[in-house]
Amino acid sequence: MDVDPRNPESVPVFEGDIQQPQAISVEETSEIAGEVRELVRAGRENAAWELIRHLHPADMGSIVASLPRPSREALVHVMSPETVAWMLRQMNPVVAGRVGTRLGAQMLTFVLSQIHPNQALATLRQIPTLRPQKVAESLAQPLVAEEILSHDPDTAGSLMATQLPMVDTNGLAEEARESLRTLRENRDKLTHVYVVQGSGVLVGQVGMVDLALADDTTPIRTVASSIVATVTVDTPAEECARLQHHYNLTQIPVVDGNRLIGVILSESLLSATVEQDTRQMQQVANVAGETVDGPLSSSIRTRLPWLTVNLGTTFLAAATVALFESTLTQVVVLAAFLPVVAGQGGIGGTQTLTLIVRAIALGELVGVGARRLLAREAVLGILHGVWLGVLVAVIAILWKQNLGLGLVLGVAMLGNMMIAGSVGAGVPLFLRRIGVDPAVSSAVVVTTVTDVFGFLLFLGIASASITLIT
Amino acid sequence: MDVDPRNPESVPVFEGDIQQPQAISVEETSEIAGEVRELVRAGRENAAWELIRHLHPADMGSIVASLPRPSREALVHVMSPETVAWMLRQMNPVVAGRVGTRLGAQMLTFVLSQIHPNQALATLRQIPTLRPQKVAESLAQPLVAEEILSHDPDTAGSLMATQLPMVDTNGLAEEARESLRTLRENRDKLTHVYVVQGSGVLVGQVGMVDLALADDTTPIRTVASSIVATVTVDTPAEECARLQHHYNLTQIPVVDGNRLIGVILSESLLSATVEQDTRQMQQVANVAGETVDGPLSSSIRTRLPWLTVNLGTTFLAAATVALFESTLTQVVVLAAFLPVVAGQGGIGGTQTLTLIVRAIALGELVGVGARRLLAREAVLGILHGVWLGVLVAVIAILWKQNLGLGLVLGVAMLGNMMIAGSVGAGVPLFLRRIGVDPAVSSAVVVTTVTDVFGFLLFLGIASASITLIT
């Protein structure tokens, strides 16, 4: 469908259809963002708004969020508060959270105070990263903060929608339809109607396809199926993401005891998955929770503690080297090869670590014994070490015309690659066993160990065989 | 719902419902896997099968895949080929691919040759990672390899289902229902019925909820809406994943020109997302495509080339150090601080790099100018460098009682942190601009630059101010 998104007349329109805007590519979005920026800078906010008003709210949001603060505020003032709130509600929750944060609590409060409290609440609920409680309290007419706002942002409680269709287990398909019809929010996003008994005890579900195919008079029991997984408000978001992925679920009911109290929709589950993956990737580099465009102070708060911890660990490496000062004085060329041994060990260890951390997160290590994994990575380390050891020895011999140096370097390389494999696998497996998230702190431990042992091996062997080298 | 998964009688059963097994935790799965392994080892495959036959196919698959090869084959022979094929079809496609690979082409061929060709094809389609073409060709009665098997595994073509419900734009809701009803596969997984015109030109869609609420005589036009995004068979899987995430889509129609030819279901989209995230995380560590449990040879093929490239780059660092041999001879203690300067730079650069790579992948950099990002990271580098520089200077002065050494170290640290920030942001942004995936090769470039410049700065300043230090 080659349709110009900015010319909605070219899109086929259906009766009673709110015009669905078309997807555009990242490049097109960037291009339009540039034009919008120019227009707003020239004081032509209305022209800028005309340019984006027919876009998909997800693209509209990206563009608004990309503007520098004064332009952003000028543009938001041209859009109606209802439009801004609608845009946030239509976007992927994680991205909406980012845009909301970019807008700032003040602008958001302004937007939300202009619209109906129910809409404001629904919007706030879409922005899980913003600690909505704070914004809710700062509104001129404080919202009746529903319990949902009190849940931790990383739990099922904060992801769930509380309005959902239910039908009694003795009911008919007609009643399930009625319950769908009376729903005010999220109606289009539901894939199941839940089957309950008595005072809301969850006993099953009816898929939307089965409901679509059922006659009004079909008893619900005959089209219902049982539930694969339920969670409670305290279930971590990452466990919800795992359940979705592992069991192919489109939505997960939230229960309190046996009672159905909410549902996590597919879009929230997907956002939880993507968010969790982002966090995991960032945790290995110790930058978790940061965005590329947030305030400097938050970046410093995230990164500096780890940089400082790491400084401590590099001094461990420095102290190891310092142990061998007299050897280095005799053969100063050894200093040049320090980064070779340590660097290779660090890279090898990180490769192993990354694989294991990700496999743990995806639940792929079921029944795969820790001992088997450790042995596997150690063997790989030896195989890599043999190749790299020979290579490094040959290069050193050719470069420095020093056979002894080459041999020492080769042996140290072999030893350190074996250590890198074992430690790269052992540290995350050990952390998981003692209940610590291996993504958070494995990297710093692994590189410290490979640095220290790499130097110990290299300089230790060199000292022991100093007559070979000098 | 505290239900014992191994006692299905405790689960409420609905008439006509194929009993849906319950989700269990990763720990429970590991425990059952242990019991199964013991039973199979004792030659009691039938008892082992009894233990897992009531589990969810996803858990059944994890457990089967976790067994050592001989036990796995013994257990699969007890299960009927139909059951194995059913298990693979029910699982998340990525995991099914892994399990299929674990089973091996031979076992898979055995399973598939026992079942109906249509089922075999549907099963093969669920295993995108296995290059199904190869298995299809090796079957005793070769399958009529549909075009789907010829698509590249990382494209929309390999993810799509080709049987899907359609209704003419002038039709009634009744006809949409009929088209759903006659569908043999994936019926329960669909969220939309597509609206077509003439010879299959895609013009819109009807959500399942809207269809469920429509009367049989409702004209489709009145409940249809337009399509947000379409892809072609060649669209990369990662672009499909981005579309799903950005636009909150549950499924994406695949078109050839204007004609509807397939649909990517929500579970395939989710798998594409998770797979893409895994690959990205692994690419930063250069282990992309590996699994923790694959053959050693494939791990070596993935990792060794990068380790070898990295060896080259560490020799660049070694050559830099070697430039300053005479300085090191005069002040051998400098050697001990080499890992401090380079290590901090490497960590700082990797932090920045990880953030930027992920932001690029999530399409978060719309309208955020490269220059602004570079400036931001450089400023952060300076701020971090000031703190770390002061800290490192103080420690060095206290440890080695050498004021000059402390000053040189502090200044080199400041400089290298600034370089780390700029390079960590600059390399992935540059690679993106020239059309190279920044996840693949950024890390090795960034650590090389921080090593080389760290040593140049530290030893260069030390040489220039040698009188201060000695």
What are the C-alpha distances in Å from A177 to residues A104, A211, B85, B193, B219?
40, 8, 35, 18, 19
* B72 and B102 assigned to the same domain: yes
SS3 B261: strand
A305 contacts chain B (CB < 8 A): no
Query: Domain with A51 in it: what CATH number?
Result: 1.25.60
- Substitution target from B177, B222, B247, B271 for chain A, most A beta carbons within 10 A: B247
* B357 and B451 assigned to the same domain: yes
Residue A197 distance to chain B (closest CA, Å)? 11
* B304 and B423 assigned to the same domain: yes
Q: How does pLDDT run along chain A (470 residues), one tens digit per residue?
A: 343 333 333 344 455 444 567 888 888 888 899 899 999 999 999 999 999 998 988 889 888 888 888 888 889 888 888 788 888 877 777 677 777 777 777 777 777 777 666 666 666 766 655 555 666 666 655 554 455 456 777 788 878 888 899 999 999 999 999 999 988 777 888 999 999 998 899 999 999 999 999 999 999 999 998 898 999 999 988 888 888 888 888 899 999 999 999 999 888 888 788 877 887 777 777 666 677 767 788 788 888 888 888 888 889 999 999 999 999 999 898 999 998 988 899 888 988 888 888 888 777 777 667 788 889 899 999 999 999 999 999 999 999 899 999 999 999 999 999 999 999 999 999 988 888 878 777 888 888 899 999 999 999 999 999 888 87
Selected residues 145-174 of chain A with any CB under 8 Å from a CB in chain B: none
Is the CB of B226 less than 8 angstroms away from the CB of A91? no
Residue A283 distance to chain B (closest CA, Å)? 9
* A308 and A437 assigned to the same domain: yes
The residue among B454, B466, B468 whose CA lies nearest residue B329 is B466
Q: Which residues in B lie closer than 8 A to residue A291 (C-beta atoms)?
A: 355, 359, 364
* Regions of chain B where pLDDT drops below 50: 1-13, 16-18, 144-145, 147-148
Count up the domains in chain A and report the number.
3
Instruction: Kindly state the helix (H) or strand (E) to which residue B18 belongs, with its residue range.
Output: none
* A372 and A223 assigned to the same domain: no
Q: Is A76 inside any structural domain?
A: yes
Is the CB of B281 less than 8 angstroms away from the CB of A277? yes
Q: Is B68 inside any structural domain?
A: yes
B182 contacts chain A (CB < 8 A): no
* A98 and A207 assigned to the same domain: no
Percent helix, strand and coil across chain B, each rounded to 5?
A: 65, 5, 25
Which residue from B minimizes the CA distance to A350?
B285
Which among B229, B251, B284 is the end of a domain?
A: B284
Residue B331 distance to chain A (closest CA, Å)? 9
Is the CB of B306 less than 8 angstroms away from the CB of A347? yes
Nearby residues of B148 by Cβ (< 8 Å), 6 or more positions away = B125, B157, B158, B160, B162
Under a CB-based contact definition with an 8 Å cutoff, are residues A273 and A279 in contact?
no
Q: Enumerate the β-bridge partners of residue A205.
A: A194, A225
- Substitution target from A179, A181, A248, A445 for chain B, most B beta carbons within 10 A: A248
Q: What does the pLDDT read at residue A392? A: 93
A468 contacts chain B (CB < 8 A): no
The Cα A100–Cα A108 span in angstroms is: 7
10 Å CB burial of residue A142 (0-12, 13-18, 19+) is exposed
B62 contacts chain A (CB < 8 A): yes
* A128 and A196 assigned to the same domain: no
Is the CB of A340 less than 8 angstroms away from the CB of B317? yes
Q: Which residues in B lie closer than 8 A to residue A56 (C-beta atoms)?
A: 228, 247
* B100 and B172 assigned to the same domain: no
Residue B421 distance to chain A (closest CA, Å)? 12
In the block, residue with structure tokens 């332009």: A71
* B355 and B220 assigned to the same domain: no
B126 contacts chain A (CB < 8 A): no
Is the CB of B322 less than 8 angstroms away from the CB of A333? yes
Residue A142 distance to chain B (closest CA, Å)? 30
* A266 and A231 assigned to the same domain: yes
Query: Domain with A253 in it: what CATH number?
Result: 3.10.580.10
Which among A122, A150, A178 is the end of a domain?
A: A150
Q: Residue B449 sits in which domain range?
A: 296-469
* A328 and A455 assigned to the same domain: yes
Q: What does the pLDDT read at residue A410? A: 95
Amino acid occupying residue A210? D
Selected residues 203-262 of chain A with any CB under 8 Å from a CB in chain B: 203-204, 207-213, 221-230, 242-248, 250, 255, 258
Q: Is B156 inside any structural domain?
A: no
Selected residues 414-433 of chain B with any CB under 8 Å from a CB in chain A: none
How many Cβ contacts (< 8 angstroms) between chains A and B? 442
Is the CB of A332 less than 8 angstroms away from the CB of B329? yes
B119 contacts chain A (CB < 8 A): no
How much is the mean pLDDT over chain B? 83
- Substitution target from B10, B292, B308, B398 for chain A, most A beta carbons within 10 A: B292
Q: What does the pLDDT read at residue A383? A: 94
